[in-house]
Amino acid sequence: MDALEGKLGHSFKDQALLRRALTHASADSTVSNERLEFLGDRVLGLVIAEALHQRYPDEPEGMLTRRLHALVRWESCARVGEEIRLWPELVLTKSGAADEGGRARGAIVGSAVEALIAALYLDGGLEVARTFIERHWLPLLDVIQTEQRDAKTRLQEWSQSGGRGERGAPVYALVSRDGPDHAPHFVIEVRVQGHEAARGEGASKREAEQAAAAALLAREDVQ
């Protein structure tokens, strides 16, 4: 526990709270981390929303929302969990640990990270939770932005692979453009035949197209 507390940046007064945050429902449903996960998700959302609001003072609500969703989704939480090597610390049954390398592991780790955020909040207060979140999540902004910048290429490749090539390339369409000339706001829709359309927003058509492509890829769970 000492090593984990060092990674979290906090020494727990209530060690039982920390143990509960690490306990998956497969090990003990009566003292699992599910309730803490619920609270931690909300604390994470609040801290990230506040940080984004301060960091991007001129961005419209739609852009902030997309950044928020990218940072609080379980994949981002799982990244942080792997960074702090959380998996060996979790309390799991053998069945709960069955898929140590795949999506199941990621979802379990991501949920435990949210539970840890709640534990930090309950044991040390919002500032303790905020320090941990800002240290590990804000650097992900650059990673996520890089991934989203190349979303159009990834969508193009996906739409042409796995027997989908006959459906053609993604088609982008302008839904709306508003705002003053110095601060325009674009909404773009992208369609791939056989799949529901997705929309993205941005301060330029290019940015909105990338956001739309990223949204469709995320919905289709394309890595």
Strand partners, 199: 189
Which strands make up the sheet holding 185-191, listed edge to edge? 171-178, 185-191, 198-202
Q: Is 124 helix (H, G, I), strand (E, B) or coil?
A: helix
Q: Which of 139, 79, 152, 65 is nearest to 114 (CA)?
A: 79
> How far apart, in whole angstroms, are the C-alpha atoms of residue 199 and residue 190?
6
| Catalytic one of 41, 75, 123, 201 | 41
Q: Is 97 helix (H, G, I), strand (E, B) or coil?
A: coil
Q: Which of 123, 103, 119 is nearest to 33 (CA)?
A: 119
Active site residue 189: no
Helices (H), 125-200: 126-137, 140-149, 151-159
| Catalytic one of 37, 89, 114, 209 | 114
> How far apart, in whole angstroms, are the C-alpha atoms of residue 149 and residue 79?
19
Q: Which of 149, 200, 145 is nearest to 174 (CA)?
A: 200
Active site residue 123: no
Catalytic residues: 41, 114
